[in-house]
Amino acid sequence: MEKLIGNLLYGQSGGPTSIINTSAYGIFIEAFKHKNIINSIYAMNYGIQGLLDDKLIKILDNDTLLKNLLNTPGSAFGSNRFKLKSFDEDPLTYKKILEIFKKYNIRYFFYNGGNDSMDTINKISTYLEKENYKCNCIGIIKTIDNDLPSTDFSLGYPSAAKFIINAALEIYLDDISYKEGRVNIIETMGRNAGWLAASAKLLEVRGVKADLIYVPEVLFDLNDFLNKVEEIYNKKKHALIIISEGLKNNEGSFIFETNSLLDSFGHNQLGGLSIKLANLITSKLGIKTRYYELSLLQRANSICNSKIEQKIAIRLSKFAVKSAINGVNKKIVVVNRISSNPFKYNFKLVDINDIANKERYLDDIYINKENNYINDNFIEYLLPLIDGEKGLLNIYKINK
């Protein structure tokens, strides 16, 4: 089969992760190995929006500079929240895209993002095919939420999980420095999927146990919660609670959107769920609290990036480039786990439609019966993705 010869376009979309630039690095270094096929590499400056504005960045073949991508959080080339409409709704945008593809002779297109971004690449590649413009398009998965189907994990999740585990461990160790501590509420991202909050289960690898972990897959009862917190704190004088930002109440709404207990705070006010729960515990139970919204740090912290995730990300990108050169089009590369111990995996190509606009929730098998903690089998899932035990803090324990 004759190979497409031309240029490569890479773009970033959606919320940044601390691994997205590692994916970019993998694409670039592999592409630079095939200069007779891929002549030049461009990155969109601010995703599709940059493409439409004809703002492409030419990538220089300088490994020293490119290696900095491995430490750089954020989306180094700029991201966007542009939602591509259907061709029927917005044909001009599609024509503009084709025009730019032609202008730069783009024959390989890699778009790095979550569910929405996979929808974008699907629409673009379908349109290019219809117009008989040959271009191999491949989606590179990315989201810290881990909510993409068909893949063992989404790139960005393991490093974010590792940050959360270490942050929870640090907060725990700080709290137990005092004989009498506080109720500590740590809020992770994840409006619909509980993978990030669940990661705190892995504190157990260091002999520490969170008291409660709440995920949005199950309903959250505020009164049960308060009773539980009171019971734990009265017994231990410490409490470590991990919550997902997207907890929903028994009516299925985000809590505090409909809760009359908290009218005085007003749901338009800024401030995450952890702050509101902490306020409630203090006012109702009279117990000292601290809240921690991990916020952007969980997706932007690159200092404790999972080395194994970075290795997989680079390999996945290389696999994607090689696949595209071999004629693969309209696919997404996913990670397929073969075994957990030892951890073995390979890559698979799945249809874009299998992922685009679909969400994957934390599996039921990982959530305990009481809906307030995570089962042991989750450790087998997550631990191999964060360098085994070595990725986590080794802590000193006193001999009492």
Catalytic residue IDs: 145
Tell me if 166 contacts a copy of itself by CB under 8 A.
yes
Site size toward a copy of itself (CB under 8 A) is 67
Applying the rule CB under 8 A, the residues between 302 and 361 that interact with a copy of itself are: 302-304
Q: Closest Cα to residue 371, out of 244, 203, 184?
A: 244
Q: Closest Cα to residue 71, out of 307, 318, 335, 275?
A: 307
DSSP letters of 152-198?
Answer: S--TTHHHHHHHHHHHHHHHHHHHTTSSS--EEEEEE--SS--HHHH
Tell me if 236 contacts a copy of itself by CB under 8 A.
no
Among 7, 12, 120, 329, binds a copy of itself (CB under 8 A): 12
Alpha carbon distance 262, 226 (integer Å): 14
Tell me if 398 contacts a copy of itself by CB under 8 A.
yes
Q: Closest Cα to residue 112, out of 321, 341, 377?
A: 321
Tell me if 80 contacts a copy of itself by CB under 8 A.
yes
Residue 335: strand, helix, or coil: strand
Residues 378-397 as x/- pattern, contact with a copy of itself by CB under 8 A = ---------------xxxxx
Among 54, 68, 85, 250, binds a copy of itself (CB under 8 A): 68
Alpha carbon distance 304, 326 (integer Å): 35
Identify any residues that bridge with 244 across adjacent strands, giving them in sequence order.
188
Tell me if 65 contacts a copy of itself by CB under 8 A.
yes
Residues 265-304 as x/- pattern, contact with a copy of itself by CB under 8 A = x---xxx---x--xx--x------xxxxx-xxx-xxxxxx
Tokens 């220089």 correspond to: 60
CB 184 to a copy of itself: min, Å: 8
Tell me if 178 contacts a copy of itself by CB under 8 A.
yes
Tell me if 77 contacts a copy of itself by CB under 8 A.
yes
CA 40 vs CA 7, 289, 383: distances in Å: 5, 55, 39
- The footprint of a copy of itself (CB under 8 A) covers 12, 16, 21, 43, 45-46, 49, 57-58, 60, 65-66, 68-69, 71-81, 166-167, 170-179, 265, 269-271, 275, 278-279, 282, 289-293, 295-297, 299-304, 393-400
